[in-house]
Amino acid sequence: MKHTDFLVVGSGISGLIFALKASKFGQVILVTKRSLDETSTYYAQGGIAAAVGETDDPRKHLEDTLTAGAGLCDPHAVEILVNEGVDRVNELMECGMEFTRKSDGSLDLGREGGHGKSRVLHADDFTGREVENFLIDRLKKITSVMILENHMAIDLITEHQINPSLPKENVYGAYVLNDTEDKIEIIRAHYTVLATGGTGRVYPFTTNPKVATGDGIAMAYRAGCRVRNMEFVQFHPTAFFSDRDPAFLITEAMRGFGGYLRNREGERFMEKYHPDKELAPRDIVARAIDSELKRTGDDYVYLDVTHRNADETIAHFPNIYRTLKEEFHIDITREMIPVVPAAHYQCGGILTDYDGRTDLDFLYAVGETASTGIHGGNRLASNSLLEGLVFADRAARDIQKRLEAGEHSVKEKNHGSIPEWIKKSTRYFEEWTLIKHDKREIHNLMRDYVGIVRSDLRLQRAIRRINLIYEEINDFYSRSIVTRKVAELRNLVLVAQLIIRSSLDRKESRGLHYSLDYPEKRDPSREDTVLEPNSYPKKKN
């Protein structure tokens, strides 16, 4: 049994920032399912949105975020994001993070869909990779941080593990699978922070890495936390059309650079759907592409930058240019890029307050796995990395105050009572076949019934099928030795079920949830879809 002040689950920007901040006043154990850099942050191309430009200000950033969020954002959460975000970005640069600059030394701020100003800081077109590597390098130099790669948190530890008759009120750490040694260990902690990213892997075509199986959301819901607005799954409009996994993202910044979307006939079509054309919010662009594909029967549309200066294109997008030319023999300065929407970002998640606190005491959630109210019905481009910076910092500061007040001592008496993980039956020989089959069913169901355009009929079919798959997977889980793939499948089916349930509960079209049965609304609203823990499916007698 390991013991630490802070257990951090996940190594994207929010997990790394929290670990760096918390290491100044306690011991940190950071667990990550694979390598440290196998995160959605690493694959983020666009950048970090912040009102740091001379003609920009946080109020304009707030207005753009509220507009993109289809009226569902929590205005106070957004105020925190845009105001504190400027300080957090400046702090990051003061620590040594380098962003792309113009010849005069000023920041080269990009513009993306939904932004009224150029405010996206970037490191060429591989910003996430540079930020991730910068933070990892800093973290590895800190002696108060223990990094455990190839470790997957399986379940949170609450009173329920100590005594099933006790109500779930506190979190004491987690059961963690050591994937290298094939054993489950206890890591107990005064504070546990979930930074596990999103749910993209419930869909067959996604820009998310293979680790994005909704682990934090599933663990928190099983433990007793509410989840909010899970129906709002953002599909990035322009993923490169290929068999590559994860799907290769063609950054939003390419449309901000002046790229056109064209159909097979070479016609620009976005003017039919929104006055901002290619720079409309992501939900509108993704739905427009989906509509064009259904109208024509084509598999993809084109993103075209061939009209732009070739040298400028290569300078702005060196990673995209090199990848498409070397791996797919497409020269983007001469040829159009085939693109299609791909599952990209979970706008909902574990319900938290403005400091990352969840329904269970001593448990925090930050980043994509959390629902702070920032993104509403649709995330504004490049607000995700900013959210990780801001709310990981807020969680660390909140916990520091609680530690100074001695709030961690309430849990000391229970640590010795945490039972060891009970090893289940033997591993099934057909395990991998069952996992592949169930995962394929989940993928097909989510793609066909819970995609960009939905309906009550499709969702009703989806919930009937997912409930059956849910029962089968949990029965299989209860009788088999826990492996990473089995645990991921268990989480995938639960988050798929949560997305479908939330979609059924929202009786309107708003943002990323577009239903053929209900008119679209973008007026201000705080009608969140909140799912209570353990409320469904009903337990059998």
Residue 350 carries which side chain, given as an amino acid letter?
A: I
The CA-CA-CA angle for residues 300, 306, 312, to 5°, reads 125
Find out whether 48 and 386 touch, Cβ atoms under 8 Å: yes
Report the distance separating Cα 291 and Cα 451, nearest Å. 12
Find out whether 134 and 61 touch, Cβ atoms under 8 Å: no
Tell me if residue 282 is catalytic. Answer: yes
Report the distance separating Cα 414 and Cα 189, nearest Å. 11
| 164: alpha, beta or left? (left if phi > 0; alpha if psi -120 to 50) | alpha
Alpha-helical segments (H) within 308-420: 310-316, 318-328, 384-404, 412-415
Helix (H) or strand (E) segment spanning residue 335: none
Which one-letter DSSP state was computed for residue 408? G
User: Of 282, 357, 379, 510, which one is the catalytic site residue?
Assistant: 282
Find out whether 342 and 208 touch, Cβ atoms under 8 Å: no
Measure the CA dihedral 479/485/490/492, to 10°: -160
Cα dihedral sign for 163, 164, 168, 170?
positive
Which one-letter DSSP state was computed for residue 170? B
Residues labelled catalytic: 282
